Amino acid sequence: MNTLPTPPSISRRDLLTRGTQAAAAGLLGSAFGMSPTSSETLVQQLYGSMDETQRKTLCFPWSDPRRLKVDNNWHITPQKIRDVLKADQQDLVRQIFDRLHSYEYKSEVWRQFDQDNKGDGGFGSASIALFGEPGTSQFEFVLTGRHCTRRCDGDSEKGAAFGGPIFYGHAAQGFNEKPDHPGNAYWYQAKRANEVFQALDGKQRDLALRDESRDEDGSDTVKLSGKTKGLEGIPVSALSADQKDLVKKVIADLLKPFRQADREESMKYIEAGGFDNLHMAFFKNQDVGKDGVWDVWQIEGPHMVWFFRGDPHVHCWAHIRAPKEA
């Protein structure tokens, strides 16, 4: 399990200064309904520690189109955090990222991130950007790198789980993984999804099993249709109660790596959009090993896309929003 690095030694004056800043951040975090140690509070602390040059490099208007971009391997700014942030600021970024994930699963998230970014120098190779002004009612922090787009926004982006679309993935043992994806941090999600397929009868499988999956094309991959009918796969409304329970377990597993607040918000929006409006599809033309264990699948509804592509390794694209009336 990864642990956060030991902070460098600091002087008594610096300690008192940082203590004052942390106390102020905690008070403001409480005012916005956040824990004093939430990612959002730490983003404000990071912002307060930046000098003018750093802010010009990493801080942008709320309207900047990069704020809601998502991709599988990209840098939201050309500068990597190791090149633009001091050691204590990099530690804050690590803490922000850490607190976006659940206590029970974060060790796997760190294992994936460290493995996938090892060749580029590890966590320091990630890039960040801040939009709006942290500590106000409109701000967002975004961290990107290989197999990573994560964000936190203190609910500034209204009606969006996770603050907008996110990406996670893992190439555990080389680019082309074996059929059982050994060591992959997220393959457990596909195993759960395949339990749904195994529970379907013949006619249901015909509806659920499709040929080709959607293309991976950045933000267009998770574009929401708003449709309740005509989506790929079998509608949840066509499932029995036991089968629906299995789909709910899939969704719970998809949300498992993330912090409780994001899990709860996601479920709120999924339920508001209508659980029975979801569709589940499996794609037979991307079956690694031709073993009938579907590596590529998705859950889609009018206000949700969660696309799991396990060929040749795992890519996961997620976007959940509230219905406009919710």
Domain ranges (residues) in the chain:
25-157, 187-320
pTM (2 decimals)? 0.88
pLDDT at position 123, please?
A: 96
Backbone φ and ψ for 139, nearest 5 degrees, come out as -155, 155
pLDDT at position 22, please?
A: 38
pLDDT at position 37, please?
A: 81
Mean pLDDT in each 10-residue stretch from start to end of the chain (326 residues)?
Answer: 36 38 38 62 97 98 97 97 98 97 97 94 96 94 97 96 98 96 98 98 98 97 96 98 98 98 98 97 97 98 98 98 81
- Which amino acid would we find at residue 297? W
SS3 154: coil
pLDDT at position 17, please?
A: 37
All residues at 6 or more sequence positions from 256 whose CB lies less than 8 Å from its CB, including other chains? 102, 104, 105, 263
pLDDT at position 325, please?
A: 60
Q: What is the C-alpha separation between 101 and 213, in angstroms, rounded?
A: 28
Q: What is the C-alpha separation between 22 and 193, in angstroms, rounded?
A: 43
39's tokens: 């990612």
